[in-house]
Structure 1
């Protein structure tokens, strides 16, 4: 009888473990926006077991029963098994519904603070969409990470692609952000400020015109200061390709919107004239948040200055007469 009881207990335990593993596999398949190349990743200081095993079941049993791991990761190609006391999970977005999909797994997540930290801890990370947790406010955000350009580790906070998002917004919208990580985007002044405040940061601007000519410029020291004035500080220009000085005109200037005039012009509001919230001085040479218009046309919007309210960079390939097809702004800790 005792022998039979032991057998029953062993079978029950085996079935329970199998059920847990099985449900986990189904759970991961359900959320197929998680790239297979980015599995659970364990910091080296938290690895409790690492070795080669035959299958996921053996990996789970060894890790949980012999090493008291919180969770384990099995790589089918190499049969490598890693058991850890805490895992970081990086999610890659393929749909706008990512937030409700990842909610059930938050108890497993120890989030990173920006794209640079992801790349530092996981050098094989690919460009894509990740959930991060800001270092000061603990706010979680879905961000677009560029892991390829100039060594990678860039957090994208501005992007124009096709004119699908209206950028003529009030101050509250510019402060909190609008658009989406997978398309046109303004991350939000308060989040950009916090990301840049974490450590010494650099700024990179990339642009493409309608002839597919590309250019970029990089600034050494990027910060937004003076509280909710979000004053632009970019330091010296570190590098550029095909781009003359332009953003430097906006250095040490607070952010102006049509409902919050902080530019240096007393008689008018540059955000209205340029049809964009921006670091307007009097007014601006760079207008990356300006009206998205096709080449050969002139922006004509009520209240705005014709021909000056386009999506453009005055230092790139002909200046204000050249309309931009794409632009992006991103930051990286150095």
Structure 2
């Protein structure tokens, strides 16, 4: 008996992926194994292969053979930056950069992995470096993600899927208008499902930026077209021209507007008297807790 055509299709995808990984070359043309991590170029061909065969649509609707093959594909490509960093060592690369991950429940997605800060393994999900990307966006954009890796939002659904199982920590790096470098680290980090409006869960603060994000703990996400905040007189996202786990409205807001070469983002210094840190740079990233 011949195997189902869908299974044969998926098997072909596996063989194509293996072929691509074995023949991939870094920009200077010299082969170095499996260079998943790139300084600037994402692993686009594999994404095109997966999409062209509709692999994840097939797995969602067809039988156990397809699911077994999907699981096998997940052993070929990393599903987090920790696995990707192991692959990068095989490829003699430790600089970090854009990497293709197979995220459970989503499929193939290009992300930026930081392999240098405190031992690496970090998945960067928010970065504000220049004013090239508008962060005043709707719910769908924040769920699915947007940006150019210098100014990026990975996506709420990806954050949920990547933190739903296991223990994760969060680190936030910031630079103020006075060029002061700040950091806030949380031992526990998780993003809830869409049914909770991607509620934020953080605890266990350390750092030099004061524990301002903790005041947003257990808050759902709000955008201009999806108001889930506790502000009684309107929508915090519309009022602040951003999107965040607003309360009424914020003690931190890293997705605000950019004006006069300053990201309109704030991290409140909770020392007495409270003042605001205004930022020119922010980066949020998470990893499985060491």
Instruction: Give CA-to-partner distance per residue, 1:245-302, whole Å, 9 cap, x none.
Output: 211111000001111111112221111111111000111111100011237x8x9xxx
* Among 281, 285, 289, the residue aligned to 2:247: 281
SS at match of 1:234: strand
Partner of 2:122: 154
Q: Given the alignment of the two structures, is residue 230 of structure 1 paired with residue 233 of structure 2, yes or no?
A: no
Q: 1:35 to 1:144 in 2, by over 3 A?
A: farther
Q: Are 2:162 and 1:195 equivalent residues in the alignment? A: yes
Instruction: Report SS of the residue matched to 2:158.
Output: helix
Asked whether 1:213 is paired with 2:180, we answer yes
SS at match of 2:207: strand
Change (3 A) 1:276 1:34: farther
Structure 1 residue 244: deviation in Å?
1.3
* Count of residue correspondences: 243
Tell me, yes or no, if structure 1 residue 132 matches structure 2 residue 104: no
Q: What's 1:315 paired with?
A: 269
Q: Aligned-residue CA RMSD in angstroms?
A: 3.2
CA gap of 1:177–1:226, structure 2 versus 1, over 3 A, is closer
Bigger RCO (CA 8 Å, 6+ sep): 2
SS state at 2:203 partner: coil
Match of 1:331 in 2: 286
Bigger radius of gyration, 1 or 2? 1
Q: C-alpha distance in 1, partners of 2:214/2:87?
A: 34
Specify whether residues 294 and 132 from structure 1 end up closer, same or farther in structure 2 by C-alpha distance, changes over 3 A only. Answer: same
Q: 2:214 aligns with which of 248, 272, 275?
A: 248
2:33 is aligned, of 12, 23, 39, to 39
Trace 1:92-103 onto structure 2 (pairs within 5 A). Answer: 92=38, 94-95=40-41, 98-100=43-45, 103=48
Match of 1:258 among 213, 224, 230: 224
Q: With the length of structure 1 as denominator, give the TM-score of the two structures.
A: 0.64
Taking a change above 3 Å as real, the CA distance of residues 269 and 125 of structure 1, as seen in their structure-2 partners, is same
Distance across 1 between alignment mates of 2:221 and 2:194: 11
SS, match of residue 311 in structure 1 = strand
CA deviation map 1:140-192 (0-9, x unaligned): 111111111111110000000011100001111100011123x2000000001
Q: How far apart are the structure 1 equivalents of 2:287 and 2:221?
A: 21
Provide the rounded CA distance (Å) in 1 between the counterparts of 2:106 and 2:193.
Answer: 21
SS at match of 1:223: strand
Deviation, structure 1 residue 128: 1.2
- Partner-residue secondary structure (3-state), 1:312: strand
